[in-house]
A and B are shown apart, each in its own frame.
Chain A
Amino acid sequence: MRAGMRLAKILLLTAALAGATSGAAYAGANVSHFTLANGLEVVVVPDHRAPVVTHMIWYKIGAADETPGKSGLAHFLEHLMFKGTEKNPGDTFSREVAEIGGQENAFTASDYTGFFQRVTRDHLREMMALEADRITGLVLTDDVVRPELNVVLEEQNMRVANNPAARLGEQIDAALYLNHPYGRPVIGWRQEIEQLDRDDALAFYRRFYSPNNAVVVVAGDVMADEVKADAEATYGKIADRAEANPRHRPMEPVQEAPRTVTLADMRVEQPSVSRDYLVPSETSAKAGESEALEVLAHVLGSGENCRLYRSLVIDQGLALNAGATYSGTALDYAKFTVFGSPKPGVPLHQLEAAIDAILAELGAHGVTADELDRAKTRLIADAVYAEDNQAALARWYGSALATGQTVEGVRTWPDRIRAVTAEAVQNAARTWLDRRHSVTGYLVKSLQSEEKRS
Chain B
Amino acid sequence: MNADWLARLRHRGATSILPRAGLRHCLLLVAAIASAGTLFAVPAKATTIEHVVSAGGIEAWLVHEPAVPLIAVDFAFAGGAVQDPPGKSGTATLAASLLDSGAGDLDSHAFSDRLERKAIEMSFSAQRDTIRGTMRTLAENRDDAFDLLRLAVTAPRFDAKDVEISRAQILSLLRRETTSPADIASRRWWETAFEGHPYGRPLNGTPETLSSISIADLKSYAHRVLARQNLKIAVVGDIDAETLKPLLDRTFGALPEKPDLVSITNVAPRGLGRRLEVSLDVPQTVVDFGGPGISRQDPDFMAAYLVNHILGGGSSDSRLYQEVREKRGLAYSVSDNLVWLDHAAVLLGGTATRADRAGDTIDLIEKEIRRFADGGPTAGELTEAKKNLNSAFALNLDSSTKIAALLVQLQLDGLDTDYFTRRSTMIEAVTLDDARRVAKRLLDKGLLVTVVGKPQGFASSKPN
Assess whether A388 is in contact with B400, with CB atoms less than 8 Å apart. Answer: yes
Q: Which of B150-158, B252-260, B298-306, B320-328 contacts A (4 or more CB under 8 A)?
A: B320-328
Interface-side segment among A92-100, A236-244, A360-368: A92-100
Please give, as numbers and ranges, the residues of chain B lying within 8 Å of A186 by CB-CB distance. 16-18
A149 at the interface (CB under 8 A from B): yes
- Interchain CB contact under 8 A, A388 and B44: no
Q: Does B112 contact A (CB under 8 A)?
A: yes
Q: Which residues of B sit under 8 angstroms from A314, Cβ to Cβ?
A: 109, 161, 165
Least CB distance, B191 to chain A, in whole angstroms: 15
Which residues of A sit under 8 angstroms from B212, Cβ to Cβ? none
A270 and B388 contacting across the interface, CB-CB below 8 Å: no
Against B, the Cβ 8 Å flags (1 = close, 0 = not) of A351-386 are 000000000000000000000001001100110110
Residues of A within 8 A of B46 (CB): 48-50
Q: Does A109 contact B (CB under 8 A)?
A: yes
Q: Does A118 contact B (CB under 8 A)?
A: yes
For B385, give the chain A residue with the smallest CB separation: A98
Find out whether the CB atom of B112 lies under 8 angstroms from the CB atom of A304.
Answer: yes
Q: Please name the residue on chain A nearest to B175 by beta carbon.
A: A269
Q: Given A154-B353, A186-B16, decide whether A339 and B394 contact each other with a Cβ distance below 8 A.
A: no
Q: B133-187: which have CB < 8 Å to A?
A: 136, 138, 161, 165, 168-169, 172, 175-183, 186
Inter-subunit contact B181/A1 (CB<8 Å): yes
Q: Kindly list chain A residues whose C-beta atoms are within 8 Å of the C-beta of B5.
A: 321
Bound-state Cα–Cα, A411 to B26, Å:
34
Check A95 against B15 for contact (C-beta < 8 Å): no
| Known contacts A3-B24, A4-B24, A162-B284, A98 near B12 by CB under 8 Å | no
Closest A residue to B27 by CB, please name it. A3
How many residues belonging to B are interface residues under a CB distance threshold of 8 Å?
100
Give the chain A neighbours of B330 by CB distance below 8 A.
Answer: 150, 154
Knowing A49-B398, A79-B20, say if A272 contacts B11 (CB, 8 Å): yes
Contacts of B354 in A (CB 8 A): 150, 153-154, 157
Say which one of A5-13, A37-45, A419-427 lies at the interface with B. A5-13
Which of chain B's residues have a CB closer than 8 A to the CB of A7? Answer: 15, 19, 22, 26
**B317 CB-CB contact with A under 8 Å:** yes
Stretch at the interface among A164-172, A205-213, A225-233: A164-172
Q: Mark B101-124, 1 if CB is under 8 A from A, else 0.
A: 000000011001100111101000
B192 CB within 8 Å of chain A: no
Q: Give the distance in Å from the alpha carbon of A154 to the alpha carbon of B113 in the complex.
A: 44
B435 at the interface (CB under 8 A from A): no
Question: SS class of chain B's interface: helix, strand, loop or mixed?
Answer: mixed
Cross-chain contact A187 with B9 (CB below 8 angstroms): no
C-alpha gap A341/B172 in the complex (Å): 9
Say whether B65 faces chain A, with CB atoms less than 8 Å apart: yes
A159: chain B residues at CB < 8 Å are: 13-14, 18
> Would A106 and B20 count as touching, CB distance under 8 A?
yes
Chain B residues with Cβ below 8 Å from A130 are: none
Q: How many residues of A contact B (CB 8 A)?
A: 102
Chain A residue at minimal CB-CB distance from B24? A3
Interface contact A320-B11, CB-CB below 8 Å: no
Chain A residues with Cβ under 8 A from B136's Cβ?
385
Interface residue B49 (Cβ < 8 Å from any Cβ of A): no
Closest to B391 in A: A101
Is B68 close to A, CB under 8 A? yes
- B286 interfacial by beta-carbon distance below 8 Å: yes
Q: Does the CB pair A78–B384 fall under 8 Å?
A: no
B398 to chain A, nearest CB (A): 4
In the bound complex, what is the Cα–Cα distance between A20 and B17 (angstroms)? 17
**Contact residues of B between 385 and 412, Cβ < 8 Å to A:** 387-395, 397-401
- 8 Å CB interface, A1-36 against B: 1-9, 11-13, 15, 26
Interface membership of A249, Cβ < 8 A: no
CA distance in complex: A194, B26 (Å): 29
Task: Select B179's contact among A48, A150, A267, A337, beta carbons within 8 Å.
Answer: A267
Contact of A1 among B117, B183, B400 (CB under 8 A): B183
Bound-state Cα–Cα, A274 to B18, Å: 22
The complex places the Cα of A443 from the Cα of B328 at a distance, in Å, of: 35
Q: Are A160 and B14 in contact (CB under 8 A)?
A: yes
The one of B17, B108, B392 in contact with A101, judged by C-beta atoms closer than 8 angstroms, is B392
Task: Tell me whether B119 and A158 are in contact (CB under 8 A).
Answer: no
Instruction: Check if B14 sits within 8 Å of A105, measured CB to CB.
Output: no
Interface residues of A in 75-89 (CB under 8 A from B): 75, 78-79, 82
Q: Which of B172, B316, B331 is within 8 Å of A154, CB to CB? A: B331
In the complex with contacts A50-B397, A305-B113, A388-B400, A147-B316 CB distance below 8 A:
no
With both beta carbons as reference points, the residue of chain A lying nearest to B20 in the complex is identified as A106
Choice from A52, A154, A162, A305 contacting B181 with Cβ under 8 Å? A162
**Given A52-B394, A101-B391, 16 more contacts at CB 8 Å?**
A11-B15, A12-B12, A91-B316, A91-B326, A94-B317, A101-B387, A101-B388, A105-B19, A106-B20, A158-B24, A321-B5, A321-B169, A323-B10, A341-B11, A374-B117, A384-B69
7 contacts across the A-B interface (CB closer than 8 A)? A13-B7, A91-B317, A106-B19, A147-B327, A163-B14, A168-B12, A323-B10
Instruction: Give chain A's interface residues, CB within 8 Å of chain B.
Output: 1-9, 11-13, 15, 26, 47-52, 75, 78-79, 82, 91, 94-95, 98-103, 105-110, 118-120, 146-155, 157-163, 165-166, 168-170, 185-187, 220, 266-270, 272, 274, 303-305, 313-314, 320-321, 323, 327, 337, 339, 341, 343-344, 374, 377-378, 381-382, 384-385, 387-391, 443
